[in-house]
Amino acid sequence: MSALAVGRLDVTLLGRRVLGDVDLAVPSGSWVTLVGPNGAGKSTLLKAVAGAVEHAGSIGLDEVSLDGMRSRERARQVAFVPQEPTRPDGMNVVDYVLLGRTPYVPYFAVESASDVAVVEELLDTLELRELADRPVTSLSGGEFQRAVLARALAQQAPLLLLDEPTSSLDLGHAQQVLELVDELRVDRGLTVVSALHDLTTAGQFADRLVLLVDGEVVAEGPVREVLTEKLISAHYGAAVRVVHDADGGVVVVPVRERTARLTKRTDGA
């Protein structure tokens, strides 16, 4: 397990400051989810940790700086699943997952028997064995998302970054993917940082939430402290009801503003 520490992270893209002095601490083995309105900087933060955008500030894993690492070395520490992964034409599932072993394969060499063994185990774990020879372009959304996850896990990195991993999935497949991530997190000792736009989904799976607005952290902590009607109204401009379920999760239910006003009148009568 590895702890992530981000200090005073600052990112400017095309002349616009996207993140400003962001601090983030993610305990080893935990699942922290970034939430916030569109344009809040969630994806940019993940890309900065992955080394995909230039930034100021510090990013460390177990007190070792990631910023000075070469890309191959960093890829052994951080696996990043982007919001819209590319489906390479003509590539089958097994070869796609093998791409995750690239950080371990010497230049001008081929995958070793141990690399292949890692991939074989992941094909079984993520139920991709029957799809191994299928082109990735032929997979359904849920099937491809499992292949993307397998490729990331093939890096054997202790930190897993997920940018909107369920954005293209229906409800059932979204639940399956997130349940699988949670199982793998526990079984393999992973530390997970994700960005999710769906607040209920975030409230069901994350240990802690970080609410980003205009590139700054405005709230962070346990789910029930961040997903409140007051904070959601203030930063999303949305009328909602927040329901706490028996298992400790949070459900965020949008309501029409007219309904919310009528409820307040009734409650105050």
Confidence of residue 256 (pLDDT cuts 50, 70, 90): confident
- What is the per-residue pLDDT across 104-130, written as a single tens digit (0 to 9) for each? 988 878 888 999 999 999 999 999 999
Query: Is residue 247 very low, low, confident or very high in pLDDT (cuts 50, 70, 90)?
Result: confident
pLDDT attached to residue 246: 82
Sign of CA dihedral 157, 163, 164, 166: negative
Q: What is the rounded end-to-end Cα distance, in angstroms, of the chain? A: 53
| CB-based contact 66:47 (threshold 8 Å) | no
CATH number of 116's domain: 3.40.50.300
By residue range, what is the domain housing residue 115?
4-268
Number of domains in the chain: 1
Q: Which residues of 112-147 are buried (b: 16+ CB within 10 A; e: fewer)?
A: eeebeebbeebbebbebeebbebbbeebeebbbbbb
CB 232 within 8 A of CB 252: yes
DSSP annotation of 135 = B
Comparing C-alpha atoms, which of 43, 32, 38, 44 is closest to residue 226? 32
C-alpha–C-alpha distance, residues 45 and 52, integer Å: 10
pTM of the model: 0.91
How would DSSP label each residue in 67-128? TTS-HHHHHTTEEEE-SS----TT-BHHHHHHGGGGGGSPTT----HHHHHHHHHHHHHTT-
Lowest mean per-residue pLDDT among 135-139, 243-247, 258-262: 258-262
Q: Write down the mean pLDDT value for the chain.
A: 91
CA dist 258 and 247 (Å) reads: 31
